[in-house]
Amino acid sequence: MRFSVENIEVNFPAPAGDLLPALGPISFEVADDQFVCLLGPSGCGKSTLIRVLAGLLPPSAGAAYCDGELIQHPLAGAAIMFQDTNLMPWRTVLDNIALPLEIAGMSRPERYRAVRKLLPQLNLENFELAYPAELSGGMAQRVSLGRVIVQQPRVWLLDEPFAALDALTREALSLELLRLRARSLQTIILVTHDINEAVLLADRVIVMSRRPGRLVADIPIDLPRPRLAEMIYQHEFLQLAKQIRGCIEDQRA
Amino acid sequence: MQTTGKAKEFRAGRKRQLFLRRLSPLLTILLLLLLWQAVADRQIIPRILVPPPADVYAAFTTALADGVLAKHTMTTLGEMMYGLLFGVGVGLVLGYAIAKAPLLEYVLSPIIVAFQSTPIVAYAPLLIIWFGTGPSSKVVTTAVIVFFPALVNAIVGIRSVSPPLRDLMRSLNAGPWRTFRLLELPAALPVILAGLKTSATLAVIGAVVGEFVGSGSGLGVLVIMARSQYNTPLVVVTVLTMTVIALSLYGLVALVEWRLLDWQRRAAS
Amino acid sequence: MLTLRRFATIAALLLTSLVGAQADLTDERILLTFIPNVQFAPFYLGIQHDVFSDAGFDVALQHLQEPEVLDLVAVGQANYGIVSGEQVILARSRGRDVVYVFEWFQQYPVALVHASDLDLSDLAALRGLRIGIPGRFGASYSGLTTLLASAGLNETEIELNEIGFNAPEVFCLGAVDAAMVYSNNEPLQIRNLAAAGECGDLNDVAVLTVASQVDLVSNGLIVNRGQLDEAPAQVARMVGALRDALQIAIDNPAAAYLASLPYVDTLPGADTLVVALTDAAAQQQDFLADDPTRSEVAASRRALAEQLSEQFDGAALAQFHVLLNSIELWDADALGFSDLASWEAMRDTLALMNLLGGELGDLDSAFSNEFLAVSDE
C-alpha cells in the first residue's frame, strides 16, 4: 500500500482557548512495500503523524491518502504497534495476540491455532498462558509485535515500539522485526528518535523538525539487505548516520 | 531442580508465617470470646447489659429451633438481594452512561450528590410512606444506599480505561459492544468489584434502616422486638447474624474477585 | 428582636442557673421517652415553677427510647425514669429490678382510631380489618392485643400492618382501616388533615380506647431498686414533687403550655398566643384560689379551649389540644395510685402475647403506692 501525505497540519486546543500547532505542514509519499523511518526529536509530532495515518486522528488541515483514498477511518489492513506494549493486563499472551482475530469474529479454536503457529517465531512458545505483568520488557514487546503480525497487515504503523527497552534488547528486536517482515513484503512506517535504528531498518529516513514537525530531509538508505547487526560499524552506515545527524543539528542551530 | 537445606528451611519458615497470618483473625475472635466470658463471670458489667456467652448461645439455639431467626433472616436477605439488584444495576448502568457522556454528569450530579449526602435514616420514614410498609420500601432503602458505590466505581472504572487501549480497539475497528465486552468491562472490573464489596456490606444497613422505621419482619424488626422484650441475648444474636450476613456477602464478592482477577494476583506475586 | 419565646428561654436558663447555684440541691436525672413534647408539660412545669427544687432536687430531663430508659434506671445510671407499665413487667421478667412508684397516666393512652362511619360498638367487627401499628412492640401492640382479646379474637384474624410512627399519613392514604395510636395525639392530627381536605373523603374519626375495655397499668415513674432501699425519703419527696407538678398542670393548662415552650422547639408560640395564655394562666390562678372542685376545673379547661379557638386557628392550637387531651388521661381524684388489678390485666395480656421471660416473680414487688401515702404527710 502506498501513502500520500499532503500538507498535513495538526493543532491541539490549548488551555487558553487558542490552538497549539503540533505538526506540519508536512508532505511526503511512501511507495508500496517501502520501509520508512520517521525520525525526529521528542515532541515533534511524529506520533501524531502516525495517528493521522492510522485514521485515529483527523488532521486539522491537509489530507492523507492510502492507495489514493482519503484516510477517514482506521484502515483495514493496517496494524499499529504502540509506544509501550499496550497489552491488556487481564489477557494471557495467547489471548492478547489473538485479540484482533477475536474482534474479526474468528472462533476460539481457529484463532488459537493461528496464534500458536506464530509463537515459535516470536520465541514465546512456553509463555502462552502467562500474563503481561509476568513478562520481561522484551517479551512483552514481542507479544505486541505478534499482535501486529497475526493480522497479516499490508501496512505496519510502528510508533517507537522499542523505546522502553535497553539497547541490546532493542537491537535484537529490531533485527527480528526485519526477519519477520522478510517473509512477505509490507509497507512499514516506523517512528523513532534513534538514528542507528532508523538507518539499520529503513529504506528511507524522513527527518522531522522540532514542534510543529516539518520535513527537514528525506534520505534514501541504500544499504544491502538483509541488514545485520555488524553493519553499524561499516563505513557506509556511519556515513549515513553522520549525514542524518547533520540534518538534525542544522535545524537545532 | 535441587533444593538446598537452607532453601527448604526458608520455605518452611514462610509456610509457618503464612499459616499464622491466616490463623490470626480466628485468634482475635477467640480472645474476644474469652474476654467476654470473663467480663460476664466477674459481673464487671451487669448481666442485663452484657449477657454471658452461654445465654447468647441459648438464645441462638432457641431462635433457631422455633424458626424465628430463619424467618427474619430470610426477609432481610430477600430485601437485600433485590435492593442490591436494583441499586447496583441502576448504579452501574448510570455510571457507564455518565462515564461516556460527561454532560450527563453535569445534569445528574446535583441530584446524586444530594441523595448521597442526606442521611438515609432521616428520609427513610418518607420512603416507607411512599413505597408502602411491606418489603418494597426496604428494597428501596437498600437500593438507595448501595447505589452510590456502584455508580462512582463504574464511573471511575470506565474512565480509567487507558486511552492507548481505546486507540487499539478503534484501530481494530471494534464496535461499541466488542469495545465494552473486550476492553471496558474487564478494565473496569477491579474498580467495580471494589465498589461491589462496599455495596455488599452497606446492603445490610439499608435493609435494617428500612426495617427500623416500620416493618413486619426482618432482622431490624427482630432487634426492636427483642429489645422491647428486654431479651438482650436475642439482641446480640440478631446483631451477630447481621454481621455474619455482611461478612458472607463481602466474602462472596471477594471470592468472585479472586476468580475473575487471577491476573492481578499473578501480577502482584 | 427579642421574642417572648426567646425571653422565656432565657428566663428558664437564668432560673436553672440560679437554682443550680444552691448547694443543698440533689442532682437528679429523670429519663423520659419519645422526644420533647407538650405531653411532658408536668416535668417542664415542675422545673420552671420550682416544684422540684422546693423538694430539694435539681432535675435534668433526657429523652430516650423506652427500653434504654428502663435499662439505665435498672443499672443505676439514673435513679428515675418514665416508662409504661408493661415495660416494667417485661423488664422484671428478664431480671431488671425497677419499681413503679407513681402512675402518671391514669388511663391507658393507646386507642384504635377509625373512620366514624365504621361501627365498632361490637368488637367482633374488628375481624378482617386492616389495622396499622408502629410495630409488634410497645404499648400499641399490648393495647391491640388487649382489644383483640376482649373481642375474643387473635392476631391472625385481622390484617396487621407495621407502619412505623406514620399513622396519620398511612391512615389518610386509606392503606389501613384503623390504626393503633395515642388517643391524645394522632386522632387530632387526622381530624386536622381531614378538615384541610387532605384525608381522602374522610369526615370524622372515632376513637376506641383500650381503657374503655380493660384497665391496664399505664405510664408512670420508675425508680432504681438501690435508690429505693437506701433513700426512701428522697423517693417520697420526688413522688410528692411530681404529684404537685402534675396537679398544677392539670389545674392550669395555660401555665403548663407556657412552661413547655423553652423545652419543645416546634411548639407553636406566636407572641399573641403567649400573651393570651399568660393572661389565661393568671386568671386561672385566681380561679383556683377559690378551691374549685375537680369537675369545675375540668369545665374551666373546656371554657379556655373554646375561648382560645375564637382567637386562634386549629394549627396554632393543635398542641394545646394535645395537652388538654392528655390532661383528661392524667386527671383523677387521687393522682399516682395504681392498683394490682390493672397490673394483673397487663401481665395477662403480655402472657397472652408470649412475651414474658422467666423471672417475673411477684407483681406486688413491681409497684408501690406507699410513697404517695408518705408524701401526703
Residues of C in contact with B235 (CB under 8 A): none
* A133 closest CB neighbour out of B164, B186, B267: B267
**Superfamily (CATH H level) for B53-268:** MetI-like (1.10.3720.10)
C11 vs C28, higher pLDDT: C28
Least confident of A20-24, A183-187, C183-187, C278-282: A183-187
Residue-wise DSSP of C65-123: -HHHHHHHHHTTSSSEEEE-HHHHHHHHTTT--EEEEEE--SS--EEEEEETTS--SSG
Binary contact (C93, B215; C-beta < 8 A): no
Give the mutation candidate from B121, B133, B223 for the C interface (greatest C CB count, under 10 A): B133
Which of A11-20, A224-233, C106-115 is predicted most confidently? C106-115
Q: How close, in Å, is residue C173 to chain B by CA atoms?
A: 9
Contact B129 C170 (CB under 8 A): yes
Rounded Cα distance between A96 and A89, Å, is: 9
* pLDDT score recorded for residue A134: 87
B231 CB neighbours in chain C (<8 A) are 94, 357
Rounded to the nearest 10 degrees, the angle between the axes of helix B68-100 and helix B102-117 is 150
Give the integer Cα–Cα distance in Å for C175 and B136. Answer: 15
pLDDT band at C2; cut points 50, 70, 90: very low
Which amino acid belongs to residue A29? Answer: E
Task: Choose the closest CB to A102 out of B170, B182, B263.
Answer: B182
The stretch B123-134 carries a mean pLDDT of 82
How far is residue C299's CA from residue C312's CA, in Å, rounded to a whole number? Answer: 20
Q: Which domains does chain A have, with CATH numbers?
A: 3-77+156-252 (3.40.50.300), 84-152 (no CATH)
Residue A253 has pLDDT above 80, yes or no: no
How many degrees, rounded to 5, is the angle at CA A123 between CA A119 and CA A127?
70
> Does B170 sit within 8 Å of A74, measured CB to CB?
yes
User: What does the DSSP assignment read for B51-112?
Assistant: --HHHHHHHHHHHHHTSHHHHHHHHHHHHHHHHHHHHHHHHHHHHHHHHH-HHHHHHHHHHH
Query: For chain C, which domains are there?
Result: 4-107+218-330 (3.40.190.10), 110-209 (3.40.190.10)
Report the pLDDT averaged over residues B57-66. Answer: 91
Which residue in chain A has the smallest CA separation from B162? A86
To probe the interface with A, which of B169, B171, B193 has the most A CB atoms within 10 Å? B171
Q: Going by C-beta distance under 8 Å and a sequence separation of 6 or more, which residues neighbour residue A10? A: A21, A22, A23, A24, A45, A48, A49, A52, A57, A59, A60, A212
Q: Do chains B and A touch (3 or more CB pairs under 8 A)?
A: yes
Q: In angstroms, what CA-CA distances link C321 with B251, C109, C162, C188, C268?
A: 55, 15, 27, 8, 12
Position C60 scores a pLDDT of 95
The Cα–Cα gap between C131 and C114 comes to 9
For A57-100, the pLDDT digits (tens) are: 888 888 888 888 888 888 888 888 888 888 999 999 999 999 99
| Residue in A with minimal Cα distance to B262 | A90
- Model confidence at A235: pLDDT above 90: no
DSSP B179: H
Residue type for C73, please? V
Do C75 and B132 lie within an 8 Å CB cutoff? no
- In angstroms, the separation between the Cα of residue C8 and the nearest Cα of chain B is 30
Using the Cα atoms of residue C179, residue C183, residue C186 and residue C189 in order, give the sign of their dihedral. Answer: positive
- The beta-carbon neighbor of B267 closest among A73, A83, A134 is A134
Q: Specify whether the CB–CB gap between A5 and A66 falls below 8 A.
A: no
Of A82, A131, A134, the CB nearest to B168: A82
Beta carbons within 8 Å of C170's beta carbon, 6+ residues apart? B129, B133, C132, C161, C163, C176, C179
Question: By CA distance, what is B211's nearest residue in C?
Answer: C164
Closest residue to A56, CB basis, from B167, B174, B263: B167
Give mean pLDDT, residues B77-82.
Answer: 95
Question: What does the alpha-carbon distance between residue A84 and residue A131 come to, in Å, rounded to a whole number?
Answer: 16
Q: Provide the whole-model pTM.
A: 0.76
C-alpha to C-alpha distances, B184 to B131, B150, B161, nearest whole angstrom: 35, 15, 6
Residue C5: alpha-carbon gap to chain centroid: 24
Q: Do B189 and A131 touch (CB under 8 A)?
A: no
Name the DSSP letter for residue B44: S
Contact B174 A103 (CB under 8 A): yes
Beta bridge partners of A157: A80, A189
Measured between CA atoms, the residue of chain B closest to residue A87 is B165
Residue B70 neighbours by CB under 8 Å, 6+ apart:
B64
CB contact under 8 A, B221 and C165: no
A89 CB near a chain B CB, below 8 Å?
yes
Question: Are B214 and C67 inside 8 Å of each other by CB?
Answer: no
Q: How far apart are CA C62 and CA C73, in angstroms?
A: 12
Q: Minimal Cα–Cα distance from A235 to chain B, Å?
A: 40
Question: What span, in angstroms and rounded, lies between the C-alpha atoms of A83 and A48?
Answer: 12
Averaged pLDDT for residues B60-75: 92
The residue among B162, B167, B192, B257 with the most chain A CBs within 10 A of its CB, best to mutate, is B167
Closest CA to C42 of C303, C242, C271: C242
The CA distance from C18 to C16, in Å, is 5
pLDDT of B213 reads 82
Measured between CA atoms, the residue of chain B closest to residue C353 is: B229
**Beta carbons of B133 and C164 less than 8 Å apart:** yes
| Per-residue confidence (pLDDT) for residue C15, from 0 to 100 | 54
Residue B171's Cβ-side half-sphere holds a number of Cα atoms within 13 Å equal to: 30
Nearest alpha carbon to residue A209 among A240, A251, A245, A246: A251
ipTM of the complex: 0.85
Out of A176-190, B227-241, C317-331, least confident range? A176-190
Mutant choice from A52, A83, A85, A88 vs B, greatest count of B C-beta within 10 A:
A88
What pLDDT digit, counting tens, does each position of C192-244 carry?
A: 888 888 888 888 899 999 999 988 999 999 999 999 999 999 999 999 999 99
User: Which residue in A73, A88, A133 is closest to B165 by CB distance?
Assistant: A88
Question: Could you count the other beta carbons within 10 Å of the beta carbon of residue B106?
Answer: 10
What is the C-alpha to C-alpha distance for residues A190 and A205, in angstroms, rounded to an integer? 10
Nearest CA to A156 out of A96, A206, A107, A201 is that of A201
Q: Shortest CB distance from B164 goes to which of A82, A100, A132?
A: A82
Interval C292-304 mean pLDDT: 94
Give Cα C26 distance to the centre of its chain: 25
Instruction: Kindly determine whether residue B48 and residue C94, on different chains, have CB atoms separated by under 8 Å.
Output: yes
**Residue C6 cell numbers, joined:** 426567646
Task: State the smallest CA–CA distance between residue A58 and chain B in angstroms.
Answer: 13
Contact assessment for residue C139 and residue C168, using Cβ atoms and an 8 Å cutoff? no
Q: Are B53 and B111 in contact (CB under 8 A)?
A: no
Give residue B4's pLDDT.
60
Q: Which of B62, B229, B232 to mutate against chain C (most C CBs within 10 Å)? A: B229
If 0-12 CB within 10 Å is exposed, 13-18 middle and 19+ buried, where does residue A206 land? buried
Residues of A in contact with B261 (CB under 8 A): 90
The answer to whether the Cα torsion of A198, A201, A206, A212 is positive or negative is: negative
The most confident of A10-19, A237-246, B107-116, B146-155, by mean pLDDT:
B146-155
SS (H, E, C) chain A: CCEEEEEEEEEEECCCCCEEEEEEEEEEEECCCCEEEEECCCCCCHHHHHHHHCCCCCCCEEEEEECCEECCCCCCCEEEECCCCCCCCCCCHHHHHHHHHHHCCCCHHHHHHHHHHHHHHHCCHHHCCCCHHHCCHHHHHHHHHHHHHCCCCCEEEEECCCCCCCHHHHHHHHHHHHHHHHCCCCEEEEEECCHHHHHHHCCEEEEECCCCECEEEEEECCCCCCCCHHHHHCHHHHHHHHHHHHHHHHHHC
How many Cα atoms sit within 13 Å of A33 on the Cβ side?
5
Helix (H) or strand (E) holding C222: strand C220-224
**Distance from C-alpha of C260 to C-alpha of C221, rounded to nearest angstrom:** 19
Spell out which residues of chain C touch residue B227, defining contact as CB-CB under 8 Å.
Answer: 65, 67, 137
Chain B: nearest CA to A74, how far in angstroms? 5
Say whether B228 and C67 touch across the interface (CB within 8 A): yes
Distances (CA, A) of B117 to B96, B112, B122, C58, C224: 21, 9, 11, 40, 42
Neighbours of A, requiring at least 3 CB pairs below 8 Å, are B
Mean per-residue pLDDT for C18-46? 84
- pLDDT of residue C11 exceeding 70, the answer is no
CA distances for B188 relative to A191, B145, B254, C365, angstroms: 31, 21, 16, 67
Chain B partners within 8 Å of C139 (Cβ):
none
Task: Give the pLDDT of residue B1.
Answer: 46
Exposed, middle or buried: residue A222 (CB in 10 Å: 0-12, 13-18, 19+)? exposed
Instruction: Beginning with the edge strand found earlier in the chain, give each strand of the sheet holding A187-192 in spatial order.
Output: A78-81, A155-159, A187-192, A35-39, A204-208, A215-220
Nearest CA in chain A to B179: A103
Start-to-end C-alpha separation, chain A: 37
Q: Inter-chain contact B229–C94, Cβ cutoff 8 Å? A: yes
> Would you call C91 and B230 a contact, using CB atoms and an 8 Å cutoff?
yes
Average confidence (pLDDT) over A178-198: 81
pLDDT computed for residue C377 by the predictor:
45
Per-residue pLDDT tens for A19-49? Answer: 888 887 888 888 888 889 988 887 788 888 8
Neighbours of chain C (3+ CB pairs under 8 A): B
Minimum distance, in Å, between the CA of residue B131 and any CA atom of chain C: 11
Dihedrals phi, psi of C319, to nearest 5 degrees:
-70, -30
**B185 vs A222: which has the higher pLDDT:** B185
Residue type, C176: V
Task: Give dist(CA A102, CA A92) in Å, integer.
Answer: 14
Q: How many C-beta neighbours within 10 Å does residue B256 have? A: 14
Is B186 within 8 Å of A103 when comparing Cβ atoms? no
pLDDT over 80 (residue B123): yes
User: In angstroms, rounded to a whole number, what is the distance separating the alpha carbons of residues C149 and A120?
Assistant: 87
d(CA C133, CA C161): 6
The pLDDT of B48-68, averaged and rounded, is 88
Report the percent of chain C where pLDDT is more than 70. 93
Q: What angle do CA B239, B244, B249 make, to 5 degrees?
A: 130
- C162 and B221 within 8 Å at the Cβ level: the answer is yes
The answer to whether C51 touches C248, Cβ cutoff 8 Å, is yes
Distance between CA atoms of A231 and B193, rounded to whole angstroms?
A: 53
* C100 vs A138, more confident: C100
CA distance C287 to chain B (A): 44
Tens of pLDDT, residue by residue over A90-108, are: 999 999 999 999 998 889 9
Mean pLDDT within B75-94? 94
